[in-house]
Amino acid sequence: MHTFVGFGRRAHWLCALALIAALGSKSASAQQASEHDHSQHTMPAMDHSTHQAPINKTTKTKPPARQTKPQAPHRNAHEGAHGDTHSAKPAASHAGHAAANGDHGGMTGFLGAYPMTREGSGTSWVPDTSPHEGIHGRVGEWSTMWHGYLNLIYDRQGGPRGADKTFAAGMVMAMAQRPLGDGTFGVRAMLSPDPFMGNSGYPLLLASGETADGRSHLIDRQHPHDLFIELAATYSHPLSATSSVFLYAGLPGEPALGPPAFMHRTSGADSPEAPITHHWLDSTHITFGVVTAGLVVDRWKIEASAFRGREPDQYRYDIEAPKLDSFSARFSWNPIRELSMQVSWGRIRSPEQLAPNIDEDRVTASAIYTQPFGNGNLWSTTAAWGRKVLRPGETLDGYLLESALVFKNAVTLFARAERVAETELHEDVPALDGHVLMVNKFSVGGIYDFYRTEHTKIGIGALVSKYALPDSLKPIYGSDPTSGMIFARLKVI
Ligand SMILES: [Cu+2]
């Protein structure tokens, strides 16, 4: 009965997403006919310089005809894109910009005058060379964009602690922005179908964090994401052609802590499984109550957040009460178009519902390198380190190295290696309780997209995972467990 209901809901989601995808590509084609060559959008790392030339020519030789306000550098998107600032000269009018650009529906960064492709989840940054994905539209003054994916997964985790499950996971994200005063006002919403998989999430050896029932820890399982991953608003105000101040508020939202969430970085987005380092690096990406203020200066960003420390509870459909009891700060730097780095620190108040007397300090550092090659191919790699300092308690490190090769001819390959200092996995084993044990996981997989249109692709994929465990854990995990997933994916790009 449960399975049946679950599948029915899943099918419902699939249909809904497919329908939206069809509508989206239709409206996009209409736009294409009237505006510009949309096909460039599907090319990762679109060469912005081709757009740049006409704009600069326009701005140099022809002062904008109808410029009533002081210049809003946000509207001159691609200038900031390449770092070589062309000083704060008058920009083209908004209309002129959109026309000259033939660009992302007039959309630039939500937080500053740089290309939209630099923005990851929350207020995080990824390299400027990240693929430009999404279906763009325009409603009055608003520029809109949406994208999403849905995975239907058969998951089989090996060994005595393993289990299997068929489930759906994914997300759909919509965002809109408009000029407001001299700045840019933005709203965004991200939803996930994950709650339909059930409170206990899906089997994932060595994963820990959060709870399914409010009584026991989820061990060797990945928790479902909440229905509402992000409901947020942003406002950024330009200080010069390439600098700005911004505010971000979300319920839920993502504080300035950690690298971009795994499904928002090119190196991690194609793998259907969550990293086991999730609760060392990017688990705060769903936080009920976040306010962030930041400053962008060229290729630098510094920001600070106040947010609710407590992780989401097991009720995944609701909006939980906000609270600003925790703090974080992050420093990001994109020195070249291909590279994005961050260091961040957070003081998280009582993150775990089941260990309310323990606070956590978290430190993370990460670098993402995304290199386009050939005709529209991409190679993206993320290296990240996260440290949890439990107060009171242990200091636990987690390391991640993940990489993806996205070939334009429909093949994607991905791999992820992780190493985590764990205390939770074996807390039910009296002889090991309290010990800090290093566990390692390595996954490799691929996807073949057999169906592709301008804005959608449908593919099938598989991945396999191996582990390196300390001898003390082998009796409970088996000497050499192997896990795997096969999956079908619908992606709207
Ligand atoms: Cu998550």
- Higher-confidence position of 88 and 451: 451
Q: What are phi and psi of 255, to 5 degrees?
A: -75, 170
- Does the pLDDT at position 249 exceed 80? yes
- pLDDT(252) > 60: yes
Q: How far apart (Å, rounded) are the C-alpha atoms in residues 465 and 463?
A: 7
How many angstroms separate the CA atoms of 201 and 207, rounded?
A: 11
Listed range (68-77, 196-205, 449-458) with the worst mean pLDDT: 68-77
- For 21-33, write each residue's pLDDT tens digit: 443 344 434 343 3
**Strand locations in 157-224, DSSP E?**
164-180, 183-191, 202-211, 217-222
Distance 98 CA to ligand 1 centre (A): 36
CA distance 228 to 312: 11
Q: Output the pLDDT for position 108.
A: 87
Q: Is 15 helix (H, G, I), strand (E, B) or coil?
A: helix
- Cα of 262 vs centre of ligand 1, distance in Å, is 8
* Residue 427 confidence (pLDDT): 87
The reported pTM is 0.81
Taking the C-alpha atoms of residue 447 and residue 383, their distance in angstroms, rounded to an integer, is 22
pLDDT at 45 over 70: no
The model's confidence at residue 106, banded by pLDDT at 50, 70 and 90, is low
Cα of 255 vs centre of ligand 1, distance in Å, is 13
Whether the pLDDT of residue 239 is over 60: the answer is yes
Backbone angles phi, psi at 12, to 5 degrees: -60, -45
Centre of ligand 1 to C-alpha 50, Å, is: 37
Q: Is the pLDDT of residue 121 over 90?
A: yes
pLDDT digits (tens, 9 = 90+) for 313-344: 999 999 999 999 999 999 999 999 999 999 99
Distance from residue 190's CA to the centre of ligand 1 (Å): 13
CA of 325 to the centre of ligand 1 (A): 20
Average pLDDT over residues 359-387: 97
Looking at per-residue confidence, does 99 or 142 come out higher? 142
| Gap from CA of 222 to ligand 1 centroid (Å) | 9
Instruction: Please tell me which residue, 427 or 17, carries the higher pLDDT value.
Output: 427
CA of 312 to the centre of ligand 1 (A): 10
What letter does residue 269 receive in the DSSP assignment?
A: T
The share of the chain scoring above pLDDT 90, in percent, equals 73
Q: How far is the CA of 261 from the centre of ligand 1 (A)?
A: 7
How would residue 74 be classed by pLDDT, with cut points 50, 70 and 90?
Answer: very low
